[in-house]
Amino acid sequence: MTPAELLAGALLAALVLYALLGGADYGGGVWDLLASGPRRAEQRRLVEEAIGPIWEANHVWLILAVVLLFTGFPKAFAAISIDLFLPLFLLLGGIVLRGTAFTFRTYDRPDPAVRVRWGLVFSISSIVAPVVLGTVVGALSSGRLAAAARGRTPLAWLSPFPLSVGLLALALFAFLAACYLAVEAEGALREDFRRRALGAGVAVLAAALLAAALSAREAPLVFAGLTRRGFSLPLHLATAVAALTAFAALLRGRVRLARAAAALQTALIVVGWGASQHPYLVVPDLTLAAAAAPDATIVPVLWALAAGALVLFPALYVLFRVFKGERPFSVVDRGR
Amino acid sequence: MCEGAVTDLLAARWLFGLSLAFHIVFAAVGVAMPLFMVLAEWRWRRTGEPAALDLAKRWAKGTAILFAVGAVSGTVISFELGLLWPRFMELAGPVIGMPFSLEGFAFFTEAIFLGIYLYGWGRVGPGLHLASGALVAASGAASAFFVTLANAWMNVPAGFALEAGAAVDIRPFEAMFPPGWLHEVVHVLLSCYVATGFAVAGIHAFYLRRDPASAFHRAALRIALGVGAVAALLQPISGDFSARQVAATQPVKLAALEGQFETERGAPLRVGGWPDEEARRTRFALEIPRGLSLLAFHDPDAEVKGLSGFPRDTWPNVRNVHLAFQVMVGLGSLLALASAFHLLLLVRRREPSRRFLGALVMLAPCGFAALEAGWLVTEWGRQPFTIRDVMRTSQAVTPVGNLVVPLVAFTLLYLFLAAMVVVLLGRQISHPAEPAAATDGRGGGALGEGGA
């Protein structure tokens, strides 16, 4: 394995963690918008309490991914920035409005009308951002971003397959968030989120099938990854097992198990995307090796990542231990 | 270059400049405010003064609002580096990726422990709580440290060789500490404490004039002005160090910021004045004989290289750079003067007079004005290059057109956010103090007050 491949692995790991943590925060925004029934206020309050202490830390995974991309794969960063100029600016708009509206709602007057107004900005931007992010990912793997047309076709990314990946991202994040929130809720509120998780799980399945079908026509590399490469079958099996486990656990009310399975399913989907488009960073003509910075850059960055991880993961554990209970990552449902 | 490209380059510069000018305020606050907040909590833990606890909690809420805006506006910058300047990042990314990567971890630490600090009142032990605040303050300073290193490299690029437009033979740690890194980092860090210290002090001085007995505002003034004053008194020393480093490493920038057109021995220091690039002289300046040679080289007869010694197409906009420099130095001197007066009062154990409080109110925006002016000096002073002598800004810009559209959109967005921040901070400060019993153990008091 070359240093560049290792760094690409670290980049993918950062994106997996962003999906698992930052993605679920966007999903929280979805459930804020869709809060309904007799416990509407409680649902919103749970979302707010769940996200409040951690969303900024979760957001840094995206920053880390961006930094690793421009440090390790500068040509890809430049190409992506040019090809996906419009969606990336939309993403930024979503990120800015989501974070600020969430914070402003916490510290503005507790007047219900004011809170509803900020809540709308927060939740709508929480929906826009993952759809655009998914679209960006879809466009990267679709093969529509050819070097020959770079800078001359600002809408090359716009087509059904990338948009379907946007929908998949949204459904997936909503699903994750509902599973996480079901663990953090109790009683009837837990039931609310358990049912929402089941609904979102069905939406994930539908969006995934749609994206897979569209990939046959629009994203040959992804389609090949889904159907006929060496890793396709085991990866599919693992993802399917995770998804089925999540469903079964939700049906039986074992929410901690469901949470772990949903997280595994999400991680496998992101990894599956990475594996499908390997060795390309931007399909069809920018490979990992062609985009990579010299080893003189990459090797020290890998060491810096290792050193940083030694500080980061214990600190993250403290954060989750403080705000997510005594067994922040436990799979076992007990004491029901 | 066709007209559209010129417009787009201008729009890209405006958009990036606007994004940075906006973000830099929140970044500076993110460096200094956590320190104030921790000092207030530490004071409370030591003395048990209820006003100090109230202060720590209010400042924490202010920090929460400002940090959130800083975090998202910083995200905008990290993407805009590529969206607006893809050719710059293609070349520079591998060379200066190291400080950016380390900054990523500093940002992680900041966000994690700010979460613990804000929402951890009553949930974590006193030691961990205070330590979390201290870690936020330290990692905020570390973030600024690393980011400024990247800027120092743009001013004096080092640690690589150029081959067919690409960086080869990269030495990341040499690039991380280019010549002149130390002065820029020190100057920037100090400016964060000066700007935030005087802004916060001015706000509390305003309320103290209305209610001179308020223990809350007195404690606030003591901490904010204490830190701000020490930093403001160190800043001229750091400035002198900076000027000498700039003279040695970036002579064009020095000539521009001093309005020095001709190369001469015993060059005068120009206070004020209006540089005229066509006539190649600076008019209406108060000239202190030999002042510049003395300050820049610590030798009254030293030769200062003027702009005429450099090709005309490598000059920055001399008028802008010189004027921004005058603003920075003028305001900085004013703040240093006020700081000396404050320390004199402290030594004599005298309370600040009503008139001094009034002066502090007037000085409240001056620190940030000086900080923005100083940032303009270093950025404008590097033009027309984005990486000095390596890449021109016009070579770095994206080929994507219609950049006026995101420029307008983000201008409106920043105006909206700035207005909201002012309203919300105003509300945090002017609310009557809540009784200690009503605190619910959370940083975000509004959290417990029910959903919509």
Q: What angle do CA B447, B130, B211 make, to 5 degrees?
A: 70
A70 with B79: Cβ contact below 8 A: no
A181 Cβ contact partners less than 8 Å away, ≥ 6 residues apart? A28, A31, A46, A47, A50, A193
Q: Is the confidence at residue B434, as pLDDT, over 60?
A: no
Q: Smallest Cα–Cα separation from A305: which of B3, B105, B79?
A: B105
Positions of E strands within B109-265: 161-163, 166-168, 264-265
Q: Is the confidence at residue B436, as pLDDT, over 60?
A: no
Return the structure tokens found at B54.
Answer: 């109230």
A151 with B400: Cβ contact below 8 A: yes
Q: What is the pLDDT of residue B336?
A: 98
Dihedral class, residue B340 (left if φ above 0, else alpha if ψ from -120 to 50, else beta): alpha
The residue-averaged pLDDT of B280-285 equals 94
Q: Smallest Cα–Cα separation from B243: which of B297, B290, B311?
A: B297
The residue-averaged pLDDT of B257-283 equals 95
Q: What is the pLDDT of residue B430?
A: 72
Q: What is the pLDDT of residue B140?
A: 97
| Buried-state track B412-444, b at ≥16 Cβ within 10 A, e below 16 | ebbeebeebbeebbeebbeeeeeeeeebeebbb
A296 with B170: Cβ contact below 8 A: yes
Number of other CB atoms surrounding residue B285 within 10 Å = 19
ipTM for the whole predicted complex goes beyond 0.90: yes
* B115/chain A closest Cα distance in angstroms: 4
Mutate to test the interface with A, among B400, B413, B415, B427 (most CBs of A within 10 A): B400
Mutate to test the interface with A, among B8, B76, B116 (most CBs of A within 10 A): B116
Q: Is the confidence at residue B432, as pLDDT, over 60?
A: no
* B106/chain A closest Cα distance in angstroms: 9
* Chain B positions in Cβ-Cβ contact with residue A78 (cut-off 8 Å): 82, 86-87, 89-90
Return the structure tokens found at B275.
Answer: 């540089």
A300 closest CB neighbour out of B74, B82, B172: B172
- String of DSSP letters for B108-151: HHHHHHHHHHHH-TTTS-HHHHHHHHHHHHHHHHHHHHHHHHHH
Number of other CB atoms surrounding residue B166 within 10 Å = 15
* Chain A positions in Cβ-Cβ contact with residue B107 (cut-off 8 Å): 60, 63
* A120/chain B closest Cα distance in angstroms: 11
Calpha distance A134→A118 (Å, rounded)? 25
A301 with B172: Cβ contact below 8 A: yes
From the DSSP assignment, how many helices (H) and strands (E) are in chain B?
14, 10
What do you get for the CA distance between the two ends of chain B, in Å? 55
* Chain B positions in Cβ-Cβ contact with residue A321 (cut-off 8 Å): none
Calpha distance B169→B162 (Å, rounded)? 8
Lowest mean pLDDT among A122-126, B5-9, B248-252, B265-269: B5-9
Each residue's pLDDT tens digit in chain A (336 positions)?
Answer: 899 999 999 999 999 999 999 999 999 999 999 999 999 999 999 999 999 999 999 999 999 999 999 999 999 999 999 999 999 999 999 999 999 999 999 999 889 999 999 999 999 999 999 999 999 999 999 988 988 888 888 888 999 999 999 999 999 999 999 999 999 999 999 999 999 999 999 999 999 999 999 999 998 888 888 887 888 889 989 999 999 999 999 999 999 999 999 999 999 999 999 999 889 999 988 999 999 999 999 999 999 999 999 999 999 999 999 999 878 888 888 754
Return the structure tokens found at A218.
Answer: 């629009």
A123 Cβ contact partners less than 8 Å away, ≥ 6 residues apart? A29, A30, A32, A33
Q: Residue B181: enclosing H or E segment and its boundaries? A: helix B181-210
Q: What angle do CA A102, A50, A174 make, to 5 degrees?
A: 80
Q: What is the pLDDT of residue A153?
A: 83
Going by the DSSP 8-state scheme, the letter that residue A19 receives in this structure is I
Mutate to test the interface with A, among B75, B121, B430 (most CBs of A within 10 A): B75
Helices within chain A (DSSP H only): 3-17, 24-33, 40-51, 55-72, 74-83, 85-107, 112-142, 160-184, 187-218, 220-227, 232-251, 255-277, 288-291, 295-323
Mutate to test the interface with A, among B69, B84, B105 (most CBs of A within 10 A): B105
Q: What is the pLDDT of residue A287?
A: 95
A107 with B444: Cβ contact below 8 A: yes
Return the structure tokens found at A144.
Answer: 């529509």
Q: Is the confidence at residue B299, as pLDDT, over 50?
A: yes
A319 with B93: Cβ contact below 8 A: no
Average pLDDT score, chain B: 93
Q: At what angle do helices B181-210 and B318-347 cross, to 10 degrees?
A: 60
B452 closest CB neighbour out of A103, A107, A119: A119
B424 with A296: Cβ contact below 8 A: no
A56 with B111: Cβ contact below 8 A: yes
Question: Which amino acid is present at B185?
Answer: V
What do you get for the CA distance between the two ends of chain A, in Å? 47
Q: Is the confidence at residue B250, as pLDDT, over 60?
A: yes
The number of C-beta contacts closer than 8 angstroms across A and B is 232
Q: Which carries the bigger pLDDT value, residue A226 or residue B286?
A: B286
| Buried-state track A280-293, b at ≥16 Cβ within 10 A, e below 16 | bbbbeebbbeebbb
Q: Is B386 helix (H, G, I), strand (E, B) or coil?
A: strand
Q: Is the confidence at residue B407, as pLDDT, over 50?
A: yes
A297 with B400: Cβ contact below 8 A: no
Calpha distance B368→A174 (Å, rounded)? 41
A70 with B61: Cβ contact below 8 A: no
A104 with B424: Cβ contact below 8 A: yes
B400 with A85: Cβ contact below 8 A: yes
A56 with B114: Cβ contact below 8 A: yes
* Chain A positions in Cβ-Cβ contact with residue B112 (cut-off 8 Å): 57, 315-316, 318-319
* Chain A positions in Cβ-Cβ contact with residue B115 (cut-off 8 Å): 52-54, 56-57, 319, 323
Q: What is the pLDDT of residue B433?
A: 52
Q: Is the confidence at residue B452, as pLDDT, over 70?
A: no
| Buried-state track A69-91, b at ≥16 Cβ within 10 A, e below 16 | bbbbbbbbbbbbbbbbbbbbbbb
The residue-averaged pLDDT of B278-306 equals 94
B119 with A75: Cβ contact below 8 A: no
* A281/chain B closest Cα distance in angstroms: 15
* Chain B positions in Cβ-Cβ contact with residue A104 (cut-off 8 Å): 65, 420, 424
* Chain A positions in Cβ-Cβ contact with residue B74 (cut-off 8 Å): 63
Question: For a pLDDT cut of 70, what percent of chain B falls above it?
Answer: 94
Question: Which amino acid is present at B231?
Answer: A
* B117/chain A closest Cα distance in angstroms: 9
B98 closest CB neighbour out of A62, A75, A300: A300
Nearest chain A residue to B410, by CA: A93
* A146/chain B closest Cα distance in angstroms: 15
Helices within A52-111 (DSSP H only): 55-72, 74-83, 85-107
Task: Return the bridge partners of B269, or none.
Answer: B288
